Amino acid sequence: MINSIVFDLDGTLYLGGRIMEGAMDAVAALKRQRYQIFYLTNNSGKMRQQIVEKLNMFGFSANMRNTYCVSHGISLYLKEKKISSVYLIGTHDLRSELLLNDISVKDNSAVAAVVVGIDPLFSYEKIAVALDAIDRGAELIVANVDSSYPVENNRRLPGCGAMVAAIVSATGHAPDFQVGKPNTYMLELLCRDHGLSSEKICVIGDMPESDIKMANNFNCQGILFDPNGDFPHFADTKVKKLSEIIALLKKER
């Protein structure tokens, strides 16, 4: 029986600096029904602490135990694999998250791995250093392969996948590991941390190819949030309003 809800963030609970309609009420209603609430994002540009602060600014009760983001996930994966030095393509905040977890970030190709996150300052020079590192045997660890992500005013911005595609094209080397969705790594961390199993979890998100695919890969319930009807042919469970979630979950109980 499902007792824990894992929410995607961008495009589900908020969009840029705006909270999604009905998000606060939906989360509050789920808490009243005794569901545990977790937050899981593919955002590789911010530290986990920054994600927690943003959620709390909006009024969600977030902390370092119920919030999972790719930047922190990358750090944990590198430590698990005993990869201590990396060349980073990513933001200053991702660098800070890695350093916080004792990962050495170098500015040259003499490293054990190349880490790729979203990078607004992505450049030819960074591709060249990554190419040299991978040619010398470095692993390629990526945050995610999201081609774009939603922002306000019905706009999109290039996602981490755009950077990954350039590196893969230059090197001919596919990623050795993808930390973020639709990989199940972060859900596995969540379950390990909180003693949960796949049948106890429901993932709610706005992207079939990341959120729902992750849920399917993990063999847990997934609900697509599709407020604008962007996915008319999506055959699995979906809602147009977040307020519809409670009724769907009651059918599962």
Q: Could you state, in order of their start, the residue ranges of all structural domains in the chain?
A: 4-42+181-252, 81-175
Task: State how far the Cα of 190 lies from the Cα of 186, in Å rounded to an integer.
Answer: 6
Task: State how far the Cα of 237 lies from the Cα of 219, in Å rounded to an integer.
Answer: 14
Identify the residue whose tokens are 């990513």.
90
Q: Average of pLDDT values for 79-93?
A: 97
The whole-model pTM stands at 0.94
Whether domain 4-42+181-252 has CATH 3.40.50.1000: the reply is yes
211 is in an annotated binding site: no
Q: State pLDDT tens for residues 96-125.
A: 999 999 999 999 999 999 999 999 999 999
- Crossing angle for the helix pair 70-80 and 185-194, to the nearest 10 degrees: 80
Quick one: how far is CA 231 from the chain centroid? 21
Nearest to 27 by CA among 17, 12, 48: 12
In CATH, what number does 81-175 get?
Answer: 3.40.50.1000
Q: State pLDDT tens for residues 176-211.
A: 999 999 999 999 999 999 999 999 999 999 999 999
Q: State pLDDT tens for residues 26-45.
A: 999 999 999 999 999 999 99
Residues in the chain: 253
Would residue 226 show up in a list of annotated catalytic residues for this protein? no
Q: List the single range of 19-23, 86-90, 137-141, 245-249 with lowest mean pLDDT.
A: 245-249
Would residue 8 show up in a list of annotated catalytic residues for this protein? yes
pLDDT score of 63 more than 70 = yes
Same fold, 4-42+181-252 and 81-175: yes
146 is in an annotated binding site: no
